[in-house]
């Protein structure tokens, strides 16, 4: 994984927030005006809705969430203020420890090169199986 260190920091922070179900820490990584798609939340237009309709449900049922480093790629704009991250992820269901696998796209922005990244868009969904069934 050849990613900018500050993008790795963002991804590590998000993994930690999901694993510890720390919604406050997760919120700090996202814009209040985030636009997001997810397995449960079809289309949300703000952070409160993302937390209420996606995170508060899925994070409670998730253990050991992690991005898969070997699948992760990142494209950073020439001015260094926008990054698009593509990554597969995995976790386990809290109920029975079953494996869940998915994919994500995250658009990060920052005001200046020294500022922290915040997500303005995320798409997390389960990986489809053959025949269109979801895990």
**Tens-place pLDDT, residues 85-122:** 999 999 999 999 899 999 999 999 999 999 999 999 99
Q: What is the pLDDT of residue 135?
A: 45
Q: What is the pLDDT of residue 134?
A: 45
Domain ranges of the chain: 5-125
Compute the distance between CA of residue 107 and CA of residue 125 in angstroms, rounded to an integer. Answer: 15
- Judge: domain 5-125, CATH 3.90.1170.50: no
Q: What is the pLDDT of residue 42?
A: 85
Low-confidence ranges of the chain (pLDDT < 70): 1, 130-135
Report the 10 Å Cβ neighbour count for 132. 6
């Amino acid at each position: 994984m050849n990613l900018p260190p500050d993008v790795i920091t963002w991804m590590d922070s998000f993994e930690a927030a999901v694993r510890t179900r720390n919604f406050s820490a997760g919120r700090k990584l996202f814009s209040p005006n985030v636009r997001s798609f997810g397995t449960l939340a079809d289309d949300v237009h703000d952070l409160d809705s993302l937390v209420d309709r996606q995170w508060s449900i899925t994070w409670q049922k998730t253990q050991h969430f992690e991005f898969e480093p070997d699948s992760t790629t990142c494209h950073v704009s020439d001015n260094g203020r926008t990054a698009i991250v593509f990554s597969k992820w995995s976790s386990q269901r809290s109920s029975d420890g079953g494996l869940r696998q998915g994919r994500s796209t995250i658009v990060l922005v920052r005001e200046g090169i020294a500022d922290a990244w915040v997500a303005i868009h995320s798409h997390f969904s389960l990986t489809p199986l053959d025949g269109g069934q979801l895990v």
